[in-house]
Chains A and B, each alone.
Chain A
Amino acid sequence: MRSHQAEGVRKTVTKTIFALMGMFAFAFALVPLYDVFCEVTGINGKVSTSAQQVLSNEVNRDRYVTVQFITRTSAGLPWRLGVETRQVQIHPGQMTEVDFTFSNRSQSASWGRAVPSVSPSTASAHVRKVSCFCFQEQRLDANENLTIPLVFQLDNTLPEDIATVTLVYTLYPLEESNERPIVARHMNNKNGEI
């Protein structure tokens, strides 16, 4: 190999190595990018996991939308998640509050988190949650019950062809967590005794 070739090879190799590192980083960058993309476009019914501002208080009285609530609990967590009503009829723009009750049916404390999903997925960009238990991890002591409201609104830009929106919450167990205190718990502790 002659020297001008060796020089060229060195340059090519350097460039490809940078490209490689860039693509490896890109793969990881896709994870947050995908979340942002999902929130913006509503792919998969992912919804924002932080509280949102109310955009406008203008209520469209001419239109009704049915909002269904479905709660599920995955394996490994001895909790129940109940909802006060299975569905509500609301107007776009109307602020709505629905109580969800978490109850731990075991003799020990545990951590869990409710993961939200919206169907149809195109509606998820239009569900504005002002307060939701799904923003935080929850800790329940043995036999504790905890009622937390979901406060949300469907914004006025909800596509016309959507007449039913389904909100599904699936409870997942979490490992022992040392994260920040649960704000929702202190704000809204309407802990009802049964």
Chain B
Amino acid sequence: MRLWWRPSVFTAGVMSSSVCFAQSWNMPVGVTNVSRDIYGLHMTIFWICVVIGVVVFGAMFYSLFRYRHSRGAKAADFHENTKVEILWTVIPVLILVGMAVPATATLKNMYDASDAELDVMVTGQQWRWRYEYLGEDVAFNSSLSTPRSQVTGDEGRGENYLLEVDEPLVLPINRKIRFLMTSDDVIHSWWVPDLAVKQDTIPGFVNENWVRINEPGIYRGQCAELCGIDHGFMPVVVQAMEEEAFDDWLAERKKAAEQEAQGVGREWAMDELMERGESVYASICASCHQPDGQGSPPAFPPLAGNQQLIDDLDWHLDKVINGVSGAAMPAFRNTLNPVEIAAVVTYTQNAWGNDTQEQVQPSSVAEQTDP
């Protein structure tokens, strides 16, 4: 009774995969005017190549068939023809010029980021993205949310395996959005195929790009530049909303940010800090230091039983807040708020048998982080 279902599963698998195949074996048309232009260029140059290919390979295979030695073909002796040679130099040049004209126009358009209505700063960091809505006091991190158990195969893989994040970048449709892109460590590349935006993020320098999305929806992409161990686990998810829905969302996020800021002033209880710290640890720290705090030396030191960390709370706090220069440990003051830092340090001090009973209050973190 166990074997009979296998062929049917197989058939179902083939059918679903061929559906998949049909949907995604070409560049997506995308949901912006630029992405449509690019798709148009892509298909034009593709068909030009097909036509040239048919002509050239046609002539080649005709010759191979027609002038076979085995058929008794006698070789001619010509070895140059200036007219023909000029012709097949000039014709490709004309085709290329014909191709360069629309490509130049599209490129100029892609480089015009002026008159944007919203500025979003995108920062790459090993191995997550940070989004800041400039001038709006809204900022958050966006990390992979696919559980490790799906990667190892202990659990079935979901539909958006490796292309899902804890918090997507939310953008309005029909507004021109300018991206300012940079990186905290190595070069990453922010890419969403449906938006036709791919831009390297260079540490210390800022790149610009822009998008105006035509349709609401969820658009998924990935980091495109090799950026270290978890390069393959650094997805980008953009949720495009109707403009009003976006305004509501932004207002709500602002309010939440204010509430969070107020939380800095009050005294937090140990179990509150531990609970919050556990979730911060899972989404931010665990990818390098591992969920069990064992790390993966030498790049990522263990936290569980780390004597320096247990003995010296100030040192621990300094490393989390200010990071380590030239190592994978970023300065979390840039990406976590005081509550989150206080919580995760408290959690690390007490988890996995570290049990120092130390706790850190958000207010004392704020003294070291606020501008």
Contacts and interface: CB of A to CB of B under 8 A. Distances in A.
A75 B180 contact: no
Given A72-B182, A75-B330, A161-B112, A166 B206 contact: yes
Given A72-B182, A105-B367, A119-B208, A77 B322 contact: yes
Interface in A65-79: 68, 70-78
A76 B205 CA distance: 18
B324 A44 contact: no
Given A74-B325, A75-B184, A76-B323, A115 B204 contact: yes
- Interface of chain A, main secondary structure: strand
A70 B323 CA distance: 20
Interface string B277-293: 00000000000000000
Contacts of A172: 204, 325
Contacts of B134: 68, 70, 86
A94 interface: no
B205 A75 contact: no
Given A87-B135, A168-B206, A72 B334 contact: yes
A37 to B, nearest CB: 15
Contacts of A71: 371
Contact of A75 (B114, B182, B324): B324
B368 interface: yes
Which range contains the number of B residues in contact with the other chain? 35 or more
Contacts of A46: 205
Contacts of A103: 371
Given A45-B206, A78-B321, A80-B371, 16 more contacts: A46-B205, A70-B134, A70-B180, A75-B184, A75-B323, A75-B325, A75-B327, A75-B331, A76-B324, A77-B331, A80-B370, A81-B371, A86-B134, A161-B112, A163-B114, A166-B206
Interface in B296-322: 318, 321-322
Interface string A89-112: 000000000000101011000000
A68 B180 CA distance: 11
Interface string A44-65: 1110000000000000000000
Interface stretch (B37-45, B115-123, B338-346): B115-123
Contacts of A161: 112, 114
- Interface of chain B, main secondary structure: loop
A70 B322 CA distance: 18
A164 interface: yes
Contact of B206 (A82, A117, A163, A173): A117
B180 A168 contact: yes
B214 interface: no
B90 interface: no
Contacts of A106: 318, 322
B357 interface: no
The 10 closest A-B pairs by CB, nearest first: A76-B325, A75-B323, A82-B371, A75-B331, A119-B206, A78-B322, A117-B205, A117-B206, A105-B368, A119-B208
B326 interface: yes
A159 to B, nearest CB: 10
Interface in B96-123: 112-116, 119, 121
Nearest to B119: A68
Contacts of B116: 164
B333 interface: yes
23 contacts: A45-B206, A70-B134, A70-B206, A73-B334, A74-B184, A74-B203, A74-B325, A74-B331, A75-B184, A75-B330, A77-B322, A78-B368, A80-B371, A87-B135, A115-B204, A117-B182, A117-B205, A117-B206, A118-B206, A161-B114, A163-B114, A166-B180, A168-B180
Interface string B174-194: 000010101011000000000
Contacts of B178: 164
